[in-house]
Amino acid sequence: MVEVTVTPRSSLADRPVQVHVRGLSPSQLVTLRAWLADEQGDIFQSRAFFRADGAGEVDPGRHPALGGSYAGVWPMGLLWFLQPDTLFRRLVKRDVVGSPFLLHLEVFDGLCLVTGAQDRPLASCEAERWYAGPGVHRVPIREGRVRGALFLPP
């Protein structure tokens, strides 16, 4: 049974995570896809193609991506190379304290260039990416022409 995991499942957006796939056949060619929807509902995604090692595992931190959104060994490549489905959109988080981005990771058999509704992943998981730690309080700053926010720890 194929399994994809993200460790830790919930983390701050500037912290590294580890993606790991287990249960593949040795040398199996797979596509890892990461995607999220921003606060306006726009989809951002990346994908990379990997060949499983002799134990049937894929670790983007140890195994090179063979192509897709990037190539080579990039432990956080699936997150760093997220691109919008709609041109000229930017990934911006407005509510940095109240909710996380929900990142979806999926594993597909073979090379999967386009994902349609009929495509079923071999495995999938979700991870939360927070922009502020628990208990952090955001105070808006408006003084003359100065605009900003002060983030106070708990």
d(CA 32, CA 20): 10
Say how many domains are in the chain. Answer: 1
Of residues 90, 88, 10, 83, the one with CA closest to residue 48: 83
CATH code for the domain of 133: 2.60.40.2240
> Tell me: the pLDDT tens digits for 41-91?
999 999 999 999 999 999 999 999 999 999 999 999 999 999 999 999 999
Q: Who's near 151: CB < 8 A, 6+ residues apart?
A: 132, 136, 137, 138, 139
Judged against a pLDDT cut of 80, whether residue 129 lies above it is answered with yes
Contact 34, 103 (CB under 8 A): yes
Which band of pLDDT confidence, cut at 50, 70 and 90, is reported for residue 115?
confident
Question: pLDDT digits over 141-151, tens only?
Answer: 999 999 999 99
Q: Rounded to an integer, what distance in angstroms lies between the CA atom of residue 63 and that of residue 138?
A: 40
Check if the beta carbon of residue 123 is closer than 8 Å to that of residue 20. Answer: no
pLDDT at 117: 64
What is the share, in percent, of the chain residues with pLDDT greater than 70? 99
Helix (H) or strand (E) holding 80: helix 77-80
Q: Is the dihedral of CA 70, 72, 76, 78 positive or negative?
A: positive
What is the pTM assigned to this prediction?
0.89
C-alpha radius of gyration, the chain, whole number = 18
31: domain range? 3-152
Q: For residue 18, what pLDDT is reported?
A: 97
- % residues pLDDT > 90 (the chain): 92
Distance CA 113, CA 154 (A): 45
